[in-house]
Structure 1
């Protein structure tokens, strides 16, 4: 009432109303949409992102088939009753999510993330200038270049030129901000083509057994990866006493950053992953590891010069740091992308 008295909505005074599509309100959405249209208020309806408290309230989720039905019904109402013609696609009803082309999110603590759903910290404005954070972020670059970087069935969808699904849903459900959107109804029968982290490294690094010294890529973020390995007695570099040779720690770090690079190009490049370990600096061996230990290798690419990178790495067992230091690597950053349609 007060907004109407103040002249909203009008050509000069834009007014919109936002709601999240969930189980609690799905039966009211069509009525709500029409009421907003009748009031000249722009409706902004968005699919719920499975994150934070929503993960503890899965009863709120709406399955992709139901989402398709509600999007389609509203689209038909908009076309026939209000003269608004649009093609249904997630995550927004009657609109497209293009936020990664022009925006990011700054939290109250200064952390910068690509959006609410892709909660990967790419920097902090209390420590860096926002312009430098945006310029240097590989995550933002990947999202802007989505046509060359999105993986799985979304990559070959007929709408791929102007749609990348919900990046937040993809990240929250798979751990990969470049994965196909599992909530898109076009992917209902293609869920097995969507890769979820953690993932075995066999197909994403060039090293094969017995030279492979890592097992699983656990998580990825801004220039970072966590990788794990279970030390087995039949692995190379294991002494008769079951102790891991110190030299293998360097190779673990090198293969871990190779796993990050290989995973980024998984299924989208015609070329095999390529890379070389060029050297090490300030490398410290603090503790020994042995057969039966599960190790976590955390790597961070803190400097990059073309195809060359400087990596900080830490190898730990539970909370105990076993080794840490820097390595220099080269990776092929110009793969031949596959863009063919199904």
Structure 2
């Protein structure tokens, strides 16, 4: 059993309080694991998903899910300190590979691994999986608003 298979730390309603995005633009709904350097988030694709086309969750949806997983890490970090999380922005996306598209009712699980964090700028590795098979990966740099 891996850390991401355990009971979730947070459900959809709780997760939505930790990220700046609001319905219908929420692309994370479960927090499975959190540590200072890593997070595992989930998203189950429902028929009202913004990026659902012909029963497939398209590339831009996967990228947004990845970005919101990073935002969830920051939001939970601030939640644990009883502080309001600042808004963050994507600074850059590098080495992005999308190898497969999930379908309606599939759950994507994404692991965010912090590579470096300094002065409000965070560099992360991101891997998204469907049924334990990698469907996307890349690096993202995010910047917190001052």
| TM-score, structure 1 normalization | 0.38
Which residue of 2 is the match for residue 329 of structure 1?
Answer: 142
Are residue 260 (structure 1) and residue 73 (structure 2) matched?
A: yes
Question: What is the count of residue pairs matched by the alignment?
Answer: 138
Cα deviation digits, residues 157-181 of structure 1 (max 9, x gap): xxxxxxxxxxxxxxxxxx9xxxxxx
Q: What do you get for the CA RMSD once the two structures are aligned?
A: 2.1
- Contact 2:78/2:85 (8 A) holds in 1: no
- Contact 1:204/1:273 (8 A) holds in 2: no
Cα deviation digits, residues 87-113 of structure 1 (max 9, x gap): xxxxxxxxxxxxxxxxxxxxxxxxxxx
Computing the radius of gyration from Cα coordinates, the structure with the larger value is 1
- CA distance in structure 2 between the aligned counterparts of 1:217 and 1:254, rounded to whole angstroms: 14
- Contact 2:39/2:73 (8 A) holds in 1: yes
Q: Secondary structure at the match of 2:16?
A: coil
Matched ranges for 1:298-313 at <5 A: 298-313=111-126
Unaligned runs of 5+ in 2: 1-6
Q: Secondary structure at the match of 1:232?
A: coil
Pick aligned residue for 1:197 from 9, 15, 34: 9
Unaligned runs of 5+ in 1: 1-174, 176-195, 335-342
Q: Secondary structure at the match of 1:211?
A: coil
Structure with bigger strand share is 2
| TM-score, structure 2 normalization | 0.86
Structure with bigger helix share is 1
Q: Secondary structure at the match of 1:265?
A: helix
| Bigger relative contact order, structure 1 or 2 (CA pairs below 8 A, ≥6 apart) | 2
Which residue of 2 is the match for residue 211 of structure 1?
Answer: 25
